Structure 1
């Protein structure tokens, strides 16, 4: 009797996982086909003419760049240098020191020769108190905000209050932008006549890249296998998923490391949420919800051209904390706005994006880990379970490793990311090993995000920064 029940449960669970994996793979194939067509269409375009035209102040829109910094003494100067090197006619750079306990404030003051200033700040979004404003004597468009510690979301809200332009760009304090990144990410906004209110840009991992004073000297691949696996993940997420979702105005996540927003709409939804870990996704979801509830026909897009370089974790311990935090943030936003799920009132976001993120991104780790457990149990039970387990393993390879390898080839084909065939081959081979070590680990870490969510824990964790320029040294930083 007990054996019969076990056999029934194994068949049911195996069939369920197989159907689930087929749904997931079908979704990825559709996104892959669309991304391939989109990238192939854009590959032959000469973007230089567009950039030259819109570098003229007559065509561009002024923008405020907000750089929240907490204990970022290693990377903040290089990050701001990259912003000062941007090819864009009218910008202001706002560094927000969020009560750092290291030398972030002093380094910024010394590097850019900051002096205290007095300015009236309209508090349109609640934030912690501002202690002092500074302005650079050598770069008049560079402002430093020293405020009480309140977290990244609170620092961004303070930066929005200080900003004077109708659009703002948020980047992380350890991120570096390419010279033409800003004009490229602003392209949908400038061409849409106000229809696009938010844009997310492409983020790449900078570990191993030769960089000096905010400028990329040479693109090189990290020797660290953990970093390379993250590069593969980024490529899969940015070059496949977000390109397809953007086409139909279904994007729920645009990276907080590099994104542009209309200040008016962000103020309308109350700014960044300080009570959630995933403040970037939460803001995008709030914007979608606001647009649908007010019948405002606006768009949120992702563009693959702009590039923001950011430092990735180099140890499993730090990566574990990051992935746990990311998944907890995803859960918080989906649960907070759960009434949007399958609700026709919210259009494609409610009928497509939310079910996709619930089923594949949120619950995926539970189901996939169950698949790994099923394969192990099938080994001991034998019989027909061997066949189901082998088929399941094949689907895991297609879903994880094969799609990752394809994403890497996309990057090499369209953007010339990797300088040598040997390096490219190494990354593709490593991508094919993903299901045997890297993916099971990330699934466990994401399941920890479930635990933290249900327990109501709010742990941002610490990340060990090494810096992405030659002269940087090791330091622990908050992420």
Structure 2
């Protein structure tokens, strides 16, 4: 076989492999879309205020400890705490964990909420870095602030768990703003399941472009920055399609660290948060593993309507940094629990969820990048290569843009967070352009994340924030 013949054979193999892979992906996500459509239809127009109002007075409503890890969150932490103080829920406490911030996060908290230091004694069920001080607000008795040595987000959350008083806790990012009824909605499946649901996650939406005042969403809007608009589309597809479909059959391995509620007993038994890049996913995988090993019939669910609004990167530099970190975190979770892969002992988690996250979510960018390279080479080779490349391109449009457009339609049909018709039109238009510029960028960044895995890079990477609220 000559070099030219070998090259042609390799090119054809890559082309056909990408083709078959993309067909499989489209069928998989098409199935998730149908499941999401049916699930949203089943709950259509049931997520207004009335079904949740009774939870404010029910005796079985579970009290919740809200944990807010904060490291240099001076810009957004005030809005987050204010939004939490105004949520509608019968009984809760807020614990802000200042994880050794080098800015004025702690000073702002002390001054704004009139904090006084306590001589607290607490049970240390999880190991953490030393606690420097514990403060309580003189104005809001349910607001506590913990000052500790820097140990990372996982360590901060474990410190918050140690100090928490209630059987369920919620992790919230320091730059998040919650809707007033978000907790009633995210806690509903836990309350109704009588303990069978041990973790529940809500949706994360992008706050850039929204009007927010003193921790409250005044008006939902869409950013004028194209990069942010594409992230809105991406989030809609990930949450409204992916997580609804996986959650429906208890296959969900990710509850966003920006908004998730957990049973404290189960998390402590699992060993708390581990110091990984993707500590939120790793904990959920470990909980699934514990459930299977104890032969319990517990569930981890996703609820589409309760929403936490968070700030998205507006520059390529910080978005690239975020996506590389997410991809490294994904690998860490898979690698730490590789024992589950194709292991029938762990049921559908081992046979479906873990292979999905490995072969589609983690390795998928490598296949997609191969497809892009094939398309570029076909321009010079011409002939049948170019014809096949056009087919691959049309499949990529179907896989990316069409599914994103479907997610936008699901948003408008069910949740309807965007009041302006023009915002939906803009989201729809940007969905059409996804495969022309945005998706190739994210594919390249995720491949960089894979390279960093082999280089054993573990740093978090600075994320610059400008704040989304006054």
* TM-score clears 0.5: yes
2: CA distance, partners of 1:53 / 1:40: 23
Q: What are the Cα deviations for residues 356-378 of structure 1, in whole angstroms up to 9, with x where unaligned? A: 11111000010000000001111
Q: Is the 8 A contact 1:167 1:263 kept in 2?
A: yes
**Match in the other structure for 1:138:** 139
- The Cα shift of 1:440 comes to 1.0
1:49 to partner: Cα distance: 2.9
Structure-2 separation of matches of 1:413 and 1:50: 20
Aligned to 2:218, what secondary structure does the other structure show?
strand
Alignment partner of 1:464: what SS? coil
How many angstroms apart in 2 are the aligned matches of 1:309 and 1:453? 30
Q: Name the residue aligned to 1:160.
A: 161
Give yes or no for contact 2:45–2:414 (8 Å, CA) kept in 1. Answer: no
Alpha-carbon offset, residue 57 of structure 1: 4.8
1:317 aligns with 2:317: yes
1:417, distance to aligned residue in structure 2 (A): 2.4
Task: State the match for 2:50 in structure 1.
Answer: 49
1:57/1:90 contact within 8 Å kept: no
* Aligned partners of 1:87 and 1:182 also within 8 Å: yes
| Contact 2:209 2:223 (8 Å CA) reproduced | yes
Q: Which runs of 5+ in 2 are unaligned?
A: none
CA distance in 1, matches of 2:75, 2:225: 21
How far has the Cα of 1:179 moved from its partner? Answer: 0.3
1:405 matched residue in structure 2:
405
Q: In the aligned structure 2, how far is the partner of 1:107 from the partner of 1:32?
A: 45
Q: Is the 8 A contact 1:53 1:59 kept in 2?
A: no
Q: Which residue of 2 aligns with 1:251?
A: 252
Q: Cα offset for 1:418?
A: 2.3
**What does residue range 90-239 of structure 1 map to in structure 2 within 5 Å?**
90-239=91-240
Q: Structure 1, residues 99-130: CA drift from partner, whole Å, max 9, x if none?
A: 00111001111111100011111110111010
Cα contact 1:65–1:93 (8 A) shared by 2:
yes
CA contact (8 A) 2:67 2:169 kept: yes
Secondary structure of residue in 1 paired with 2:463: strand
2:23 counterpart of 1:22: yes
Distance in 1 between residues matched to 2:322 and 2:273, nearest whole Å: 20
Q: Displacement, 1:59?
A: 2.9
Q: Does the 8 Å CA contact 2:405/2:431 hold for their aligned counterparts? A: yes
Could you tell me how far apart the structure 2 residues matched to 1:127 and 1:105 are?
Answer: 19
When structure 1 is superposed on structure 2, of 456-465 and 241-250 the one drifting more is 456-465
The farther-off stretch of 198-207 and 383-392 is 383-392
Per the TM alignment, residue 424 of structure 1 is displaced from its structure 2 partner at its CA by 1.6
C-alpha distance in 2 between matches for 1:139 and 1:196: 30
Distance 1:267 1:418 in 2: 39
Native 8 Å contact 2:221 2:423 kept in 1: no
SS at match of 2:133: strand
Counterpart CA distance in 1 for 2:219 and 2:143 is: 27
**Aligned pairs (5 A) from 1:249-328:** 249-274=250-275, 276-328=276-328
Query: d(CA) in 2 for partners of 1:352 and 1:218?
Result: 40
Q: Give the structure 2 partner of residue 373 of structure 1.
A: 373
Q: Summarize deviations over 1:429-474 as a string: whole Å, max 9, x none.
A: 11111111111111111111112211211111111111111x3xxx
Number of positions where the alignment pairs a residue of Structure 1 with one of Structure 2:
469
> How far did 1:426 drift?
1.6
User: Are the equivalent residues in 2 in contact too, given 1:113–1:138 (CA < 8 A)?
Assistant: yes
Provide the residue aligned with 1:395 in structure 2.
Answer: 395
Residues 237 and 403 in structure 2, CA contact (< 8 A), matched pair in contact too: yes
- Could you tell me how far apart the structure 2 residues matched to 1:137 and 1:168 are? 23
> Using the alignment, how far apart are the partners of 2:421 and 2:333 within structure 1?
41
Report if the CA contact (8 A) 2:47-2:305 is conserved.
no
CA RMSD across the alignment: 1.0
Q: 2 CA distance for matches of 1:260 and 1:138?
A: 26
- Of stretches 352-361 and 54-63 in structure 1, the one that deviates more from structure 2 is 54-63
Shift of 1:67: 0.3
How many Å separate the matches in 2 of 1:377 and 1:354? 34
The corresponding residue for 1:335 is 335
Q: Residues of 1 paired with 2:380 and 2:418: CA distance?
A: 44
Contact (CA 8 Å) 2:255, 2:280: kept in 1 or not? yes
Residue 86 of structure 1 corresponds to which residue in structure 2?
87
Runs of 5+ unmatched residues, structure 1 = 472-479
2:461 aligned with 1:461, yes or no? yes
Report the Cα distance in structure 1 between the residues aligned to 2:83 and 2:262, rounded to whole angstroms. Answer: 20
Query: Offset at 1:46?
Result: 5.5
Q: Distance in 1 between matches of 2:45 and 2:330?
A: 36
Pick which of 14-23 and 48-57 moved more: 48-57
TM-score when normalising by structure 1:
0.96
CA distance, structure 2, for counterparts of residue 463 and residue 46 of structure 1 = 34
The residue number in structure 2 matching 1:437 is 437
Distance 1:46 1:402 in 2: 27
